[in-house]
Amino acid sequence: MLPAGVETGQVRRSCDPRGGPTTEIITTGGTRADVADAYDGKRARSILPTALHASPTTKHGRPRRAGYILEPR
C-alpha cells in the first residue's frame, strides 16, 4: 500500500546529499509507484513506497539521505 498523499503527477526530489534525479510519479497502484525523470520523462523505473517521504528529516531530526521528498511548487 502506498503512503497517504502519494498521487500521480507529483514531482519529488532526491534526498541524496550528492544530488540526484528529480522524479515525477507516473502511476500508482498496488505496492509500487512508477516514476520517470521529471525533466525529460526518460529513465522510467518502479520504486518502493518506503522511498517516498513526507518530510525531509528523519524522526530524529537529521536530514534524510535516501529516498524522495515532495518538491514544493
- Distances in whole angstroms, Cα of residue 2 to Cα of each of 45, 61, 62: 16, 23, 24
Contact 8, 25 (CB under 8 A): yes
Strand partners of residue 28 = 33
Domain extents for the chain? 11-70
How far apart CA 61 and CA 6 sit, in angstroms, is 22
Mean pLDDT of 49-72: 91
Q: Note the pTM of the prediction, 2 decimals.
A: 0.83
Mean pLDDT of 52-73: 91
Confidence of residue 71 (pLDDT cuts 50, 70, 90): confident
Q: Give the model confidence (pLDDT) of 13-54 as tens digits.
A: 999 989 888 998 898 887 888 999 998 989 999 999 889 998
Mean pLDDT of 44-68: 92
Amino acid (one-letter) located at 42: K
